[in-house]
Amino acid sequence: MNSLDKKNDTIFFILGIVSIFIIWLVLSLAINNEFAIPKIDKTSKALADLFSTGNTYLILGRTILKIALTILIAFVSSLLLVILSTLSKKFKAFISPIITLLKTVPVVVVILLFLFLFSRNTTPIFVALLVIMPIMYEALLNGINNIDDSIINETKMLSKTNLYVLRKVYLPLTKPYIILSILQSVGLGLKAMVMAELIAQTKNSIGKEMSDYRAFLDMEYIFAWGLIMITIVIISEIIIRRIKKKIAI
């Protein structure tokens, strides 16, 4: 991608953000109900108020750490499942309905079930893990399935499938799928985690903060936390894309 294309992408990215705020402004004026859609200026004040308290930074630190840990566990688990699925068609057939079940079961059902099995603090992590893992598994498996058959056949002729072949052949060829799965996991994982925190009433969490502000009808603070979540996802995507350009798996 040349510099002109990058510049155009940046311009349209900014225009997209501006259009979101314009839609927000129009809806807030049209509905004229701050319990539904708060004004931008009040949300901005709420955002400034949140960042003026130390508890906000504690919650952000915990959230980023939890989502990063969840993605790491999901990636390692998915990678192991994909390796087993690649080596054994029987295992691939066995795991397929389980992955389908994890994709289709409602998140709320999983949250309520896990609340009986785990503590309020660990439930959001397990919920996010079950949401992320099927996405990563299918992305990695699709990446391997899309490798050219001639490369696979040549690799089999030269060597058996082992950790060295996986690291030097399969992982580099599936890198775009790995990056894509991580990018998707940040947003989906964060949404699932916050939903679980809200229902589980996890202390020092974004979900608990939103629940408390909802009880007092402070919608501007809920929107402020929503903006913070969006910012976390955007910054994460920027960091991941830059890492993608600098490293080779």
Residue range 39-58, pLDDT digits in tens: 888 889 999 998 988 888 99
Q: What's the pLDDT score for residue 236?
A: 83
DSSP-assigned letter for residue 247: -
- Contact (Cβ atoms closer than 8 angstroms) between residue 102 and residue 126: no
Structure tokens at 125: 């992590």
Lowest mean pLDDT among 3-12, 20-29, 140-149: 3-12
- Identify which of 134-138, 146-150, 157-161 has the greatest average pLDDT: 134-138
CA 136/CA 115 separation, integer angstroms: 25
Q: Which residues contact 200 (CB under 8 A, 6 or more apart)?
A: 111, 115, 120, 123, 124, 207
Average pLDDT, the chain: 82
State which CATH number among 1.10.150.120, 1.10.3720.10, 2.40.110.10, 1.10.730.10 fits the domain covering 53-246: 1.10.3720.10
Give pLDDT tens digits for 80-104: 898 888 878 898 899 999 988 888 8
Q: How confident is the model at residue 73 (pLDDT cuts 50, 70, 90)?
A: very high
Bin 32: left if φ > 0, else alpha if -120 < ψ < 50, else beta. Answer: left
**Using 50, 70 and 90 to split pLDDT, how confident is the model at 118?**
confident
